[in-house]
Amino acid sequence: MKKIVFLLLIFCSMVHTAEADKRFFANESKKAYLAEMEANITVNPDKETSTIESALLKQIISQDQKNVQIGYTKEEITPDQRVDPADFTKSIARYTKAKETLEQSQKKAAELSSKLEYVKKQIKNITEEEKAKLRIYQLQFTLYKQLLDQEQGKIAMLDEALKSNEKLFVSMLAQLATEGYEERLMQLEKDHFTLEAQRNKIAELDVKIEHNTFLESQELEQLLEEHKLLEENLNAASIITAQSMLDVALFELALKKDELFYNSLKKADNVIAAVTSAEKKALELHLQLLRSLGKEYFGMTSVAVIASKEGLTDTLNYFISLLFEPLFVFNEKAVSSADVLKILLIFVVGGFIASLYRRRILRWSS
C-alpha cells in the first residue's frame, strides 16, 4: 500500500492540470472519477486521455502487486515415495501449462518494455508546442511501468518453480512405478493403428477429389466437406497417438532403455508435427521436457543420444566432452564397451574418408 501511495505522490508532481489531478488522485473520489472516465469512453471511444486514465485507475484499484498469483507451485517428493505414472503425467501437464504461461508472460513483458521505451523517448524529446501531450505520456509511462513490474515478478516466480520441478522430475524417475509398461505398448499399438487408418482414408479421398475436380463433378463440395471432417479426425488421432508415445517414452526413460526412449521421441516428434490444433504447443513442451530429462538421466554418454542430436554443434560438443571424462567408469552415466566400439568405428570411417580426399588432392596437385 505504501508503494502505491508513493507512486501516486510522485505522479502528482508530474501532472499539470491541477483540478484533474485533485480528482484523479484523491482516494475518496477514485470510484466517482473512474465512473466519469468510463462514461467519457462510452461517449467518445477515441478520447485517448480518458482511456488511459481509466485503465490506470483500474490497475491501482484492483491490483495488489505484492500478491502476484502464478497458479503453479514447487512440487515435493519424499525419498521413499513410490511415484504413480498417472500422477507423474499430471505433474508434466501442470508443467507444460505453466511453461506456456511463462512464454506468454515473456512476450507480454517484451511488448510492455518496448512500449515503455517508446513513451520514455517521447517524453525526452517533447517540445514546447507538444506540451499538451505530456500528461498522456506520463499516464502511459506509469501504467506500462506498473504492468511491466507485475509481469516480471510473475516471470521470476514461474521460472523458479519450473526449474525446481525440472530437477525434481529427474529424482522422481528412480521411484516411478513401471508395471504398466507392457499395457502402454499395447495401447500405443491400437492408437497407431487408428492413426494409420485415418491417414489411409484421407489418401483415398484425395484421389477421389482429384478425379472429381478434373471432371468438375457436382459431388466435389460434398467430398471437400468429408475431407474436412476426416482431417479433424486425423488431428484428434494424432494427439492421442502422440500422447501415448510420450507416455511410453516416460516408462522407457525410467527403465533406462535409452535407444527405445530416443526412438519414441523421434516418432512422437513426427506425429506432433501433424497436429494442427492448440494442443500442439503442450505436446511440444512435453516432448521438450522428456528430451531434457533424458539428457539429465542418461548423461551425455549414450550412443542413442548421439543419434538423436539435432545439429552438428551438439554432436561435436559430445565428442569434446569425452576427452574430459573417463570412458570406462562403472556408473549409470558410463559408456558401455559396445558404445566405445561404435565411437571408434565413427573415427575410423571418418579417418578413411579424410585419407581418400587427401590422396585425391595430392593427385590433383601433381
Quick: pLDDT tens for 256-266: 888 888 889 99
Residue 249 vs residue 314, higher pLDDT: 249
Please tell me whether residues 263 and 311 are part of one structural domain: no
Range of the domain at 232: 180-292
Please tell me whether residues 306 and 228 are part of one structural domain: no
User: How high is the pLDDT of residue 31?
Assistant: 54
d(CA 285, CA 281) in angstroms, rounded, equals 6
Q: Which amino acid is at 144?
A: Y
Please tell me whether residues 187 and 288 are part of one structural domain: yes
By CB atoms closer than 10 A (0-12, 13-18, 19+), residue 242 is buried
> Is the model's pLDDT at 44 over the cut of 70?
no
Give the residues across from 176 on adjacent strands. Answer: 83
Please tell me whether residues 46 and 127 are part of one structural domain: no
Please tell me whether residues 163 and 129 are part of one structural domain: yes
Please tell me whether residues 173 and 237 are part of one structural domain: no
Of 252, 271, 292, which marks where a domain is finished? 292
> Mean of the per-residue pLDDT values for the chain?
73
Please tell me whether residues 61 and 73 are part of one structural domain: no
Mean pLDDT check: name the lowest of 81-90, 245-254, 320-329. 320-329
Of 134, 162, 177, which marks where a domain is finished? 177
Q: What's the domain count of the chain?
A: 4
> Is the model's pLDDT at 186 over the cut of 70?
yes
* Residue 335 φ then ψ, to 5°: -85, 130
User: How high is the pLDDT of residue 9?
Assistant: 42
Distance from chain centroid for Cα 257: 27
Kindly give the residue spans of alpha helices, DSSP state H, lying in the chain. Answer: 2-14, 18-25, 30-43, 48-62, 85-124, 134-174, 181-215, 220-254, 258-273, 279-298, 303-308, 312-322, 337-365
CA distances to 182, 197, 236 from 282, in Å? 25, 25, 14
The residues, ordered by sequence, that sit 6+ positions from 104 with a Cβ below 8 Å of its Cβ are: none
Is residue 161 within 8 Å of residue 98, measured between CB atoms?
yes
Beta strands in 50-179 (DSSP E): none
Task: Encode burial over 120-156: b for 16+ CB neighbours within 10 A, e otherwise.
Answer: eebeeeeeeeeeeeebbbbbbbbbbebbbebbbebbe
Please tell me whether residues 195 and 227 are part of one structural domain: yes
- Give the other-Cβ count within 10 Å of 281's Cβ: 16
Please tell me whether residues 78 and 26 are part of one structural domain: no
Grid cell for residue 130: 507538444
Grid cell for residue 203: 489418401
- Give the other-Cβ count within 10 Å of 362's Cβ: 9
Please tell me whether residues 358 and 272 are part of one structural domain: no
Distance from chain centroid for Cα 237: 22
Is residue 199 within 8 Å of residue 271, measured between CB atoms?
no
Is residue 322 within 8 Å of residue 343, measured between CB atoms?
yes
> Is the model's pLDDT at 325 over the cut of 60?
no
d(CA 361, CA 366) in angstroms, rounded, equals 9
* Rounded CA Rg of the chain: 30
Is residue 176 within 8 Å of residue 254, measured between CB atoms?
yes
Is residue 135 within 8 Å of residue 78, measured between CB atoms?
no
Is residue 25 within 8 Å of residue 11, measured between CB atoms?
yes
Give 55-108 pLDDT, tens digit per residue. Answer: 665 655 555 444 556 778 888 877 677 888 888 888 999 999 999 999 999 999
What is the sign, positive or negative, of the torsion defined by CA atoms of 280, 282, 286, 288?
positive
Please tell me whether residues 138 and 205 are part of one structural domain: no
Kindly give the residue spans of alpha helices, DSSP state H, lying in 16-84. Answer: 18-25, 30-43, 48-62
Is residue 240 within 8 Å of residue 191, measured between CB atoms?
yes
Question: Average of pLDDT values for 30-45?
Answer: 47
Of 265, 292, 319, which marks where a domain is finished? 292
Please tell me whether residues 225 and 311 are part of one structural domain: no
| pLDDT band at residue 323 using 50, 70 and 90 as cut-offs | low
Give 279-306 pLDDT, tens digit per residue. Answer: 999 999 999 999 888 887 776 445 455 4
Distance from chain centroid for Cα 150: 21
**Residue of 9, 29, 12 lying closest to 21 (CA atoms):** 12
Question: Average of pLDDT values for 166-181?
Answer: 84
